[in-house]
Amino acid sequence: MADPDLDFTTGDAGASSTYPMQCSALRKNGHVLLKGRPCRIVEMSTSKTGKHGHAKVHLVGIDIFTGKKYEDICPSTHNMDVPNVKKTELQLIGISEGYLSLMSENGHVRDDIRLPEGDLGKEIEIRFSAGEDVMVSILSAMEEEAVVSIKPMGK
């Protein structure tokens, strides 16, 4: 008899958005999950082993999407989750209602990326209205995406 709770209609490959890594193997400028947020490690220090227990690693990270600072302390032998971070570059072809129209190299168009706030968003609007051809770098991790940088297209 078929179990109604089991639903196999989606074709998800089951690729995880994170993978485990031993805390002592993490490096500065690498990525790690702090308080459930994908962060870039900006500071790392290891304390000596005490009378009982392990050396502890003190991590300071900046959220790659919000810029918020997070800290955590973890025994060096324990595993921490590292987000799968992917960077893609797409050509800017339009801006409408706060969203960017972007085209990949294979001609696929995306309209679901929000125009970033602050100086980066202003720079994108200024360059686009000036008629410049620009490439936008998008960072994606843990089912979140954000524009992180902009550069002129190479001719």
pLDDT in tens, 71-94: 999 988 899 999 999 999 999 999
> Does residue 28 fall inside a structural domain?
yes
> Does residue 129 fall inside a structural domain?
yes
Same domain for 102 and 56: no
Number of domains forming the structure of the chain: 2
> Does residue 95 fall inside a structural domain?
yes
* 132-144: average pLDDT: 90
pTM of the complete model? 0.75
Q: What is the pLDDT of residue 68?
A: 95
Same domain for 24 and 73: yes
Residue 59's pLDDT band (boundaries 50, 70, 90)? very high
CATH code, domain carrying 29: 2.30.30.30
Same domain for 78 and 29: yes
pLDDT at residue 64 tops 60: yes
Same domain for 39 and 72: yes
Of 83, 102, 134, the residue at which a domain comes to its end is 83
Residues in Cβ contact with 25 at an 8 Å cutoff, skipping those fewer than 6 apart: none
Residues in Cβ contact with 2 at an 8 Å cutoff, skipping those fewer than 6 apart: none
Range(s) of the domain holding residue 140: 86-152
CATH code, domain carrying 92: 2.40.50.140
Summary mean pLDDT of the chain: 86
Of 65, 83, 101, the residue at which a domain comes to its end is 83
* 8-21: average pLDDT: 66
